[in-house]
Amino acid sequence: MERRPTQADVAKVAGVHRATVSLVFRNHPSIPATTRERVLECAKQIGYSPDPMLSSLAAYRSRLRPKAFQGTLAWLVTDSLWEGVTAFQDYYEGAVAQANTYGFKIDIFKLEEYSSCRDRLASILRNRNIRGILLPPSSQPNSVVDFPWKEFSAVKFGYSIVNPQLHTVASSQFRSTVLTMRQLYLLGYKRIGFFFDRTHDAKTDHNPLGGYFVETYGVGALGGIPPFFCYEAKEFLKWYRKHQPDAIITGQRDILKFLEPTGLNVPGELGVAIPLLERDVMERKVKLAGVYEDSICIGVTAVDFLVGMIYRGERGIPKQPQVVLMEGNWHPGDTVRAVNGAKIT
């Protein structure tokens, strides 16, 4: 007899973290509607449904054994950028949800409020018995965060903060760009251009540009279309007319609005794909093609890593920093099309 499907099986099929599946079936508000629908559809496909007897038993045991409060983790904000970026908000929501499963809560601290005395903030954290720090991305690439790290366990998100070199959880942006390129090639596109904001590319440690060059070189077309970094419609149109790309890879969230003055038809004249899709971009009326980053899962994973460090007593800047990369999933969207008889995948 075949075994009963589990949440781990659903997670594998849906391409998400096991914790994400659990949050979906608990109807947690931090899960995006598109992710929830995908997970539920995958569960239906493999025949998974929560066991009512086990669910009742788990709920009963949970009532008998209240979750012990373990303490507080610090969400150490270097600037206000994270409040306006959907992915960073999802990092936080995923982190809060996962911290709760361990008995931790998360409090926000703004580093700019202690710019003249970082030791005072460290003292506050010590007095509140806060041993773990989550460090969201900075608004600028190559950022440095001056803080007495030796007394704390810490994990950072992404690559914008280069010093200190802490353990890091990030999206696999290099592989996401390679995946985007390969999907475009499968759709029949042959002349793929690269259009990014320089600061954005730098904050991602140039992973999108690196993935673009590596995959372009792999098909023997390196040098055919130079990357374009100027965020002006007129200059873009000059670049487009000179090099005639049939598709572009970009990180610009408002790319369709940006292209309006150029008169280019998407996807009729130009395919558009984003290897770093965020939840709010995917939920728009016109769905952008590209690779979706599960930022909720990244937040969950960061907390898993940090809590493990706290339990093991690992503090300070590590001698050998580790980087955990989360894979994304390809979504065809409305901004690409099949070219020359190819099929949408």
Residue 12 covered by a domain: yes
Count of domains observed in the chain: 3
Q: Kindly state whether residues 134 and 164 are assigned to the same domain.
A: yes
Same domain, 137 and 114: yes
Q: Across all residues in the chain, what is the average pLDDT?
A: 88
Decide the pairing of beta strands 329-331 and 289-292: antiparallel
Distance CA 212, CA 176 (A): 10
Answer whether residue 333 is part of any domain.
Answer: no
3-state class (DSSP) for residue 21: helix
Q: How large is the angle between the packed helices 18-25 and 295-312, nearest 10 degrees?
A: 110
When pLDDT is averaged across residues 192-199 and rounded to a whole number, the result is 94
Parallel/antiparallel/unpaired status of strands 271-277 and 247-250:
parallel
In-domain check, residue 344:
no
Q: What are the b/e assignments for 146-167, b being 16+ CB within 10 Å?
A: ebebeebbbbbbbbbbeebebb
In a domain, 337, yes or no: no
Together in a domain, 180 and 284: yes
Q: Which two tokens stand for residue 30?
A: 């931090």
Final residue belonging to a domain, choices 64, 83, 100: 64
Residue 132 bridge partners (DSSP): 73, 153
Residue 341 lies in a domain: no
pLDDT value of position 278 = 86
The domain that holds 278 is classified in CATH as: 3.40.50.2300
Q: Which domain holds residue 40?
A: 7-64
Alpha carbon 150 to its chain centroid, in Å, reads 28
Residues 196 and 279 reside in one and the same domain: yes
Q: Residues 297-313: pLDDT tens digits?
A: 999 999 999 999 998 88
Residue 85 lies in a domain: yes
Q: Give me 164's structure tokens.
A: 């200190």
> Residue ranges of the alpha helices (H) in 219-278?
233-243, 255-259
Same domain, yes or no: 99 and 11: no
Q: Can you give the pTM of this predicted structure?
A: 0.78
- Give the whole-angstrom CA distance, residue 92 versus residue 99: 10
List beta partners, residue 27: none
pLDDT > 70 in the chain, percent: 91
Cα(227)–Cα(216) distance, integer angstroms? 11
- Per DSSP, the three-state class of 171 is strand
Q: What is the CATH number of the domain that holds 42?
A: 1.10.260.40
More confident residue, 67 or 306: 306
In-domain check, residue 336 = no
Mean pLDDT confidence for 19-45: 85
Judged against a pLDDT cut of 70, whether residue 10 lies above it is answered with yes
Instruction: Say what the pLDDT of residue 1 is.
Output: 36
**What is the rounded CA–CA span in Å between residue 139 and residue 80?**
8
**Tens digits of residue pLDDT in 118-173:** 899 999 999 999 999 999 999 889 999 999 999 999 999 999 999 999 999 999 99
Does residue 140 sit in the same domain as residue 77?
yes
d(CA 286, CA 274): 13
The answer to which of 83-92, 215-224, 291-300, 305-314 has the lowest mean pLDDT is: 215-224
In 25-49, which positions are buried (b, 16+ CB within 10 angstroms) versus exposed (e)?
beebebbbeebbebbbebbeeeebe
Q: Does 188 share its domain with 280?
A: yes
